């Protein structure tokens, strides 16, 4: 079975800034894999390269065997990407927004209707889907956007800070959705998060990156044991200090 993601010696340079400096990691199918690190470590850059939104300066990335540069269009057909600062169209209702997005991905009207129904269930927003998104709280918008990303049932979902800024209830709902889609639909998830408790709960394996390089990788429990820490926050702090 091919790997879901295979990144090899990826470098990305922005002017004088080396955002990624030979980053390599591999993600297995049906795995939830977390990229964690301090601000400016290169997490979002890595996610955007995997999602075909940025070209690597050098190195290679494959998604289910497809090179993200040479086969970008094919990669886009099997992934969904949720940026940290994604927004919804303010003057559309939740329903209208989901219908609008479904049209870009569905083969026909029946499939589009099925996608929207799926997204409505994922979001858990109920009757509020009839309201314009400009009236939504940040938590409600994020649930709508996660639903948009997962309604496609992608082979790979790339989620940048999926619960950023959410309260406990909204964050819990989003995490449960992610776990459900991996379990029931075989979705593979690549995510970044600053919430170490969330990472421990969600991720099968994590990669700690600093200054564009991989500095530690493994299951959360393995990393805690390796570095003699009681939680991932301590591992994070120790590894970044060493690196």
DSSP string, the chain: ---SEEEEEEEEEETTEEEEEEEEEEE-TT-EEEEE-STTSSHHHHHHHHTTSS--SEEEEEETTEETTTTHHHHHTTEEEE-TT----TTSBHHHHHHHHHHTT-SSHHHHHHHHHHHHHHHT-GGGGGSBGGG--HHHHHHHHHHHHHTT--SEEEEESTTTT--HHHHHHHHHHHHHHHHHH--EEEEE-S-HHHHHHH-SEEEEEETTEEEEEE-HHHHHHHHT-SSHHHHHHHHHHH-
Q: Which domain holds residue 168?
A: 5-242
Mean pLDDT taken over the chain: 91
CATH number at residue 134: 3.40.50.300
The predicted model gives 15-43 an average pLDDT of: 94
* pLDDT tens figures, 73-117: 999 999 999 987 777 788 999 999 999 999 888 888 999 999 999
Its pTM surpasses 0.85: yes
Domains contained in the chain, number:
1
């Amino acid at each position: 079975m091919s790997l879901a993601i295979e990144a090899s010696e990826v470098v990305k340079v922005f002017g004088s800034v080396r955002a990624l400096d030979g980053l390599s990691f591999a993600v297995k199918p049906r795995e939830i894999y977390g990229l964690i690190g301090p601000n400016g470590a290169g997490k979002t850059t890595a996610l955007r390269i995997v999602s075909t939104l940025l070209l690597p300066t050098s190195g290679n990335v494959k998604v289910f065997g497809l090179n993200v540069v040479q086969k970008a269009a094919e990669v886009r057909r099997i992934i969904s990407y949720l940026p940290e600062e994604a927004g919804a169209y303010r003057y559309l209702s939740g329903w209208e927004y989901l219908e609008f997005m479904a049209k870009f991905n569905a083969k026909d009207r029946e499939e589009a209707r099925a996608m929207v129904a799926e997204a409505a269930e994922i979001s858990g927003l109920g009757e509020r889907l009839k309201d314009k998104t400009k009236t939504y709280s940040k938590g409600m918008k994020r649930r709508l956007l996660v639903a948009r990303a997962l309604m496609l049932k992608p082979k790979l979902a790339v989620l940048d800070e999926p619960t950023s800024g959410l309260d406990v209830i909204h964050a819990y709902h989003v995490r449960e959705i992610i776990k459900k889609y991996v379990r029931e639909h075989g979705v593979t998830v690549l995510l970044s998060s600053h919430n170490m408790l969330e990472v421990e709960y969600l991720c099968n394996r994590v990669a700690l990156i600093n200054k564009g390089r991989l500095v530690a990788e493994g299951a959360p429990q393995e990393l805690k044991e390796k570095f003699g820490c009681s939680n991932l926050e301590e591992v994070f702090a120790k590894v970044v200090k060493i690196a």
